[in-house]
Amino acid sequence: MKKTSFLWLLAGAALIILAVLVMRPPAWATPVHAGQRAASIAPEANTPLSSNVKRERSSFSHPGLTSGPGSALDETGGHSLVADTPSSDNCIACHTDKKKLKKLAREPEEVKSEKASGEG
Amino acid sequence: MPPLEVWQKVLIKDKFLEKDVHAEVGCIECHGGQPDTDDKDAAHEGMVKKVGANPAATCGKCHVDYAQAAQTNIHRLQTGYQEVLAHRGGDFTDPTFITAYSNHCTGCHADCSDCHVSRPSALGGGLLAGHLFKKTASIWQTCGGCHSTRIADDYKGGHEGIPPDIHWEKEGMLCSDCHTDDAAYHNGSHGGTRYEDPTAPTCIQCHEDVKPGDGIDQHDQEHLEKMACQTCHAAGEYKSCFGCHTGIDEKGIKYFASEPSQMTFKIGHNPIKSERRPWDWVLLRHAPTNKDLFAYYGDNLLPDFDNLPTWKFTTPHNMRRITPQNETCNNCHGQDDLFLTEQDVAPDERAANAPVIVAPEDIPQPVEEGGS
């Protein structure tokens, strides 16, 4: 009898451990953590602007970015998005419109010295 | 390379938006700018045009390993330029020297986007294929865009009378087939020039059957040990550039002026002999440099100019099995014109080139044809 109880106890414990593992995978197995580990290889990447894509999407800040709906001041006083990144609709609408681009696109004035010569 | 109209440079293709994973992050995430306006100037305020210039903050968010490599990337940092100029006595702590270097040398720097999204900025930029990202850089528009007259033209047979490289003509091989992902253009952690890259390609990596006794008479121990492959297998002349003078004109515009280039074929002594390049005889090409390179900015800014030859080690990309110089023994032996002798070198460059100049008595003498 004692042996049977012990076996039942062991089976129960195994079931609980299995349930925990299935419902909550270990931290090292999550994509976010894996990304963080990879990012830590790159010293340049250890900046507020980077780490991994998933985190970046929720706390992105850019020097040229203004605050908009869903944005908030971050610790450095800059704006960081707490929702998704802003819509690119305006950019895409123009940059896929050949007629509009032909009308609006301007080459920066080429500045070449008259003294320049030879092959680069 | 045909120039692009300005609108073509910035036209985004539907295919990019529909199929390229990079489109999923949206324009603003990488380029910044103002999303809430359709006014051109207002929308571009604060926009980052060259996203790849800061790989850790952009490309490196996903491509972490490449962002790491970018920290030592030879194309991005131009370590080769710096190594050579420092060897000639250039002082990178001297503000005058740094000004000269920054004004005239850094324009050829290339970052991730210069190869994988657009044409190199140094060539005027412009999206390669409507913003589609190219994993393999375009052989003619990116690699060959910058390395044009001294590599791409050799490779595709762009020099009159000289055939293309057999690797292109017969096999259609791309740059990346030999210059693989490990090489200096991604990871230049070896520092210095590309010749210090331990992963740089060698002919023997593919042609491992080339060895004494392989059935080719000239592949004897002596020829194989003493001569770089190109010495026999470069199909003809390749381009040498001479002189380069830099300055700022009356209007304040920076410029450089080089002397007319010449097609040359010169065999000389190996200036970079090493375990990887142990040969005595190699091909040499004149680099676009001279003692007065930075004379506009000050006197003697390259005080040790003679430390390095101006005729430098080269590997022309016009390789063929049979070439004019290897058709017979005496197409090379006794052919003084093929060798870099003192008379080929400008008097004020002879000291710098002493290690590579071939003395007349060192030129291999004619042999009796029919033997080995």
Which residues, in sequence order, are bridge partners of residue B284? Answer: B266, B313
Cβ distance A91 to B28 less than 8 Å, yes or no, reads yes
Name the domain count of chain B. 2
Are B301 and B254 contacting, i.e. CB atoms less than 8 angstroms apart?
A: no
Would residue B367 count as lying in a domain? Answer: no
* Domain extent for B41: 24-73
Amino acid type, B371:
G
How far is B30 from A60, CA to CA, in rounded Å? 10
In a domain, B317, yes or no: yes
Q: Does B264 share its domain with B357? A: yes
Hey, where are the domains in chain A?
Answer: 2-104
Cα dihedral B16, B19, B21, B22, rounded to 10, equals: 0
**Chain B residues within 8 A of A32 when measuring between CB atoms:** none
Q: Of A95, A111, A112, which is closest to B11 when you measure between CB atoms? A: A95
- Is B61 close to A56, i.e. CB distance below 8 A? yes
Please indicate, yes or no, whether residues B44 and B85 belong to a single structural domain of this protein. no
Residues B29 and B105 placed together within one structural domain of the fold: no
**What Rg, from alpha-carbon coordinates, does chain B have?**
23
- Chain A CB within 8 Å of residue B46 CB: yes
Q: Are B106 and B43 members of one domain?
A: no
For residue B131, being part of any structural domain is answered with: no
Domain assignment present for B129: no
Same domain, B105 and B28: no
Q: pLDDT tens across B278-319, in order?
A: 999 999 999 999 999 999 999 999 999 999 999 999 999 999
List the single residue in A39, A42, A113 with the smallest CB-CB distance to B253: A113
- Tens digit of each residue's pLDDT, chain B (372 residues): 788 999 999 999 999 999 999 999 999 999 999 999 999 999 999 999 889 888 988 999 899 998 889 999 999 999 999 999 999 999 999 999 999 999 999 988 999 999 999 999 988 899 999 999 999 888 899 999 999 888 999 999 999 999 999 999 999 999 999 998 777 678 888 888 889 888 889 999 999 999 999 999 999 999 999 999 999 999 999 999 999 999 999 999 999 999 999 999 999 999 999 999 999 999 999 999 999 999 999 999 999 999 999 999 999 999 999 999 999 999 999 999 999 999 999 999 999 999 999 999 999 999 987 654
How confident is the model over A25-63, as pLDDT tens digits?
Answer: 443 433 333 333 233 323 333 332 333 333 333 333 333
Q: Inform me whether the C-beta atom of residue B29 falls under 8 Å from chain A C-beta atoms.
A: yes
In a domain, B260, yes or no: yes
Here the ipTM equals: 0.84
E strand map for chain B = 238-248, 254-264, 266-269, 281-286, 311-314
Claim to verify: residue B44 and residue B89 sit in the same structural domain:
no
d(CA B38, CA A24): 46
The distance from CA B27 to its chain's CA centroid, rounded to whole angstroms, is 33
Q: How many residues does chain A have?
A: 120
| CA–CA dist B102, B94 (Å, integer) | 12
Same-domain pairing of B143 and B265? yes
Cβ neighbours of B307 (radius 10 Å): 14
**Is there a single domain that holds both residue B335 and residue B202?**
yes
**pTM, rounded to two decimals:** 0.80
- Nearest-Cα distance to chain A for B208, in Å, is 36
**Residue B160 domain flag:** yes
B15, part of any domain: no
**Residue B125 lies inside a defined structural domain of this protein:** no
- A51 with A36: CB under 8 angstroms? yes
